[in-house]
Structure 1
Amino acid sequence: MKRLFSTLLVFLVNTFCVFAQNSPQDLFSKQIKLQKVSTWTLAGWSVANLAVSGIGIGSAQGSTKYFHEMNLYWNAVNAGIAGLGLVHLYKKRDAPTLSSVVREHYGLQNSLLLNSGLDVAYVTSGLWLMDKSKTESDPKRHDRFRGFGQAIVVQGGFLLLFDVTNLLIHRSQNPKLHQLLDKVAFNSTGVIIKF
C-alpha cells in the first residue's frame, strides 16, 4: 500500500511539474547555472592572481615579495577548490526531485553564509598582521607580516564580496521555490496539488 501511495505521489508530482511554471527541474537548472558561473569566476580570479603574483614575485622586494608569496599560496588553494567544484558541477546527475532541489538550495545558502563569516575572519586576521608589522623591529619580520597581511585582506575581501553576492543571488530564488512548494499540500485523504 505504501509503495502504491509513493508511486502515485511521484506520478502526481511529476505530472504537476510538467505543467508548473517553476518545476524542480527548472529551479535545479538555474541553481547549477548560477553555481557554474560563480565557480568559473573563482577560477578566473585564482588564475589571474597566480599569473600576476607569479610574475611579480621575481622582481619584488620587501613586503611586496611577501604579498605575492601569500597570493600564490592562497590562490593555489582557491584554484584547487574551483577545479574540484567544476568537476562536481559537470558530472552527470540524476533527475532532481523536489526534495533534492530544496536540500541543495538551502544547503548552498547555509554554506555561503558560513563562508562569509570565515571571510570576515580572514580580513580581520590580515588587518591584525598588518598592525603587528608596525611593532616589529626586525625588518624581515616586518615585511613578512605586512605583505602577508595585505594579501590576506585582499583575498579575504574578494571572497567576502564573492560569497555575499552569491548568497544574495541564491536567496533571490527563494520566492520561486516557495511558490512551487505552496502548490503541494497534504490533508487527511492524501496529497493535493494545485495547478
Structure 2
Amino acid sequence: MKKSLILTLFLVFITFQALGQSSDLTVFNADRLELNKVGMIVLGSWAVGNFATNAALLRNPSTKEQGHFYRMNIYWNVVNLALAVPGLRNSLIANPGSISLTESIGDYHQMGKVLLINAGLDVAYITGGFLMKEMAKTRPNKQDLLNGYGKSLILQGGFLFAFDVVMYGLLQSKSESLNKIIETVTVNADGFSLALRF
C-alpha cells in the first residue's frame, strides 16, 4: 500500500513537471507571437500613415522634388503593408500551445536572422539614399527625382533600421526563457526526455 502510494505520488509529480514544461513553452510561444503581432501592427500603421499623409501631400506638392519624395514614400509602403498583413495574420491564427519545442527554437532563430539581415539591408537603403542625393549634384536633368527618391530612402530606411533593431532587442530578451526550457530537455539514444529538477 505504501509503495503504491509513493509510486502514485511520483507519477503525479512527473505529470505536473511535464505539464509545467509544456506550459512554459506555450507561454514562450505566446510571448513571441505577441511580439510579432505588435511589430506587424507598428509596421502596418507606419505604412497606412504614410499612404494617407503622402497621398494628401502629393495632391499639391510645392516642388517636383517633394512630389517624387511623396510618391516614393507611397511605393515603399506598399511593400511594408504587404509584409505586415500576412505577418499579423500568422501571429493571430497561430496556436502557441501547438508549436513544438523544435519548431519554437527554429522560429525564434529564424526571426532573429531575418531581423539582422533586414537591418543590414536598411543600412544599404540609407546609403543608397545618400548616394542618390550625391548623384543629383551631377545630373541636373534628374536632380528633382534623385533628391526626392534619395530623401525617401533615407527616411524609410531609417525607420526600418530602428524598427528591426528594436524588434531584435526585444526578441533577444526572450532568449533566457527559451534557454530555461531547453535546459530541461536531454537527448539520449532512445530520443528526447525531460530532465526533472528536484
TM-score, with length taken from structure 2 = 0.84
Coordinate RMSD, CA, aligned: 2.2
Q: Which of the pair has more CA radius of gyration?
A: 2
Partner of 1:70: 72
Partner of 2:89: 87
Give the secondary structure class of the aligned counterpart of 2:133.
helix
For residue 125 of structure 1, the aligned residue among 125, 128, 153 is 128
The separation in 2 between residues aligned to 1:53 and 1:43, in whole angstroms, is 15
Any stretches of 5+ residues in structure 1 without a counterpart?
1-12
* Superposition deviation, residue 136 in structure 1: 1.6
Aligned residues: 182
For residue 101 of structure 1, the aligned residue among 93, 97, 104 is 104
* Superposition deviation, residue 76 in structure 1: 1.4
Render the CA deviation track for 1:39-87: whole Å, top value 9, x for unaligned. Answer: 0000000011111100001110221111001001001121121112222
* Superposition deviation, residue 22 in structure 1: 6.6
Q: Residues 17 and 23 of structure 1 are in contact (CA less than 8 Å); yes or no, is this contact kept in structure 2?
A: no
Task: Give the stretch that moved more between structures: 119-128 or 79-88.
Answer: 79-88
For residues 33-52 of structure 1, what are the structure 2 equivalents within 5 Å? Answer: 33-52=34-53
* 1:36 aligned partner, one-letter code: K
* Superposition deviation, residue 15 in structure 1: 5.3
Give the secondary structure class of the aligned counterpart of 2:93.
coil
Give the secondary structure class of the aligned counterpart of 1:160.
helix
Q: Residues 34 and 91 of structure 2 are in contact (CA less than 8 Å); yes or no, is this contact kept in structure 1?
A: no
* Superposition deviation, residue 99 in structure 1: 0.9
Q: Residues 17 and 24 of structure 1 are in contact (CA less than 8 Å); yes or no, is this contact kept in structure 2?
A: no
Any stretches of 5+ residues in structure 2 without a counterpart?
1-13
The separation in 2 between residues aligned to 1:17 and 1:55, in whole angstroms, is 57
Is 1:175 the counterpart of 2:176? The answer is yes
Give the percent of matched residue pairs that are identical in Structure 1 and Structure 2. Answer: 27
Question: Which 4+ residue blocks in structure 1 deviate beyond 3 angstroms?
Answer: 13-17, 186-192
* 2:66 aligned partner, one-letter code: T
Alpha-carbon distance change, 65 to 189 in structure 1, aligned in 2, over 3 angstroms: closer
Alpha-carbon distance change, 188 to 48 in structure 1, aligned in 2, over 3 angstroms: closer
Give the secondary structure class of the aligned counterpart of 1:134.
helix
* Superposition deviation, residue 14 in structure 1: 7.9
Give the secondary structure class of the aligned counterpart of 2:107.
helix
Task: Give the stretch that moved more between structures: 81-90 or 143-152.
Answer: 81-90
Alpha-carbon distance change, 22 to 180 in structure 1, aligned in 2, over 3 angstroms: farther
